[in-house]
Amino acid sequence: MSKPPSNRKKATSAASTDSTSAANSANEDISQQVDPGSATITVTAVEVTELTQEEQSDRLHLERKVERAFFEAGKALTELRDRRLYRSTHKTFEDYCRDRFGHSRRQSYLLMDAAVVFDNLMEKCDPMDHILPTNERQVRPMTKLEPHQQQEVWVKAVEQSGGKVPPARIVKNVVQQIMERTQVPNTYQLGEVCQILVKDNPELRGKGGCWGIVSAVNNFSCTVKTWDGEYAVALQHLKSYNYLPVECQQMQVICDRINQVYSSELEESVQKFLESLGRLKRAYLTALEEKLLSLLEAEIAN
């Protein structure tokens, strides 16, 4: 009697055939794939439409707003300070700027100084009025120059930049050339409060960051009174705090009081306290500083 055909064997054979066919088909597909290195990528072209005259005008207007943002900020800060619009919430302008805008005192005054220069360039540098500074750093080197010198610097810096807005580096170089050609006049005034910048002057060692009050104005230097005496300081080693007149008077009183108390014979801890007052970056004493200074005055008087 003959055996019936094996269904299991046929099924396995069929599965094997199907698997081999699939593998062959896959290999055939791979072999037919195009080399990626020679593949052609189709890119759909996007038509760029030209701006209308109205859009061009809007673009120019918005660009000017971006470029002059630092100028507007400086003008606004100046008005806030001059009108003392901070007085309802803050004792000083510096505290107000720090709390409201996150500015250091230096940032606020740099913006205000830059706004003055920008105003001058915008009014006088015709036909260069379409090429104006776009940030504060570009005008910072010019703040101590006379208005006509600022204009001269900007025009030359634009020329050296190929008719484009010059970087701060080029502006600084042009300023240096003009300063070497002609001495910058001493614009400091008696009673003005300045910060002492040591830079590369060893004679001012230990006085970096100290404030001093101008007691004499010379051709190329100022005599400034500090917490421990008077010093002749070149103009490049001074930076005005731009205090209001009333703030300068307050600092003069503080300076006189410290001078009367300070002595090399004082205990080191007391000397350090007085030296810290000589580095204040504000035109007033805190309540605790006032108490300590008054205590020292009473002790010296006895």
Position with higher pLDDT, 275 vs 19: 275
Position with higher pLDDT, 32 vs 290: 290
User: DSSP letters along 7-49, please?
Assistant: HHHHHHHHHHHHHHHHHHHHHHHHHHSPPGGG----------P
Q: What is the pLDDT of residues 197-244, one digit of tens each?
A: 887 667 777 888 899 999 999 877 899 999 888 888 888 889 999 999
Predicted confidence at residue 38, as pLDDT, reads 60
Reply yes or no on whether the pLDDT at 30 is more than 80: no
Region 102-130: mean pLDDT is: 81
User: Which neighbouring-strand residues pair with 284?
Assistant: none
Average pLDDT in the chain? 81
Reply yes or no on whether the pLDDT at 158 is more than 50: yes
Check: pTM over 0.95? Answer yes or no. Answer: no
Q: How confident is the model at residue 128 (pLDDT cuts 50, 70, 90)?
A: very low
d(CA 196, CA 174) in angstroms, rounded, equals 25
Where in the chain are the domains? Answer: 59-181, 193-301
Predicted confidence at residue 131, as pLDDT, reads 84
Helix and strand numbers, DSSP H then E, in the chain: 11, 5
Q: Percent of the chain scored above 90 by pLDDT?
A: 35
Reply yes or no on whether the pLDDT at 11 is more than 60: no
> Mapped to the 3 state alphabet, what secondary structure does 129-176 carry?
HHCCCCCHHHHHHHCCCCHHHHHHHHHHHHHHCCCCCCCHHHHHHHHH
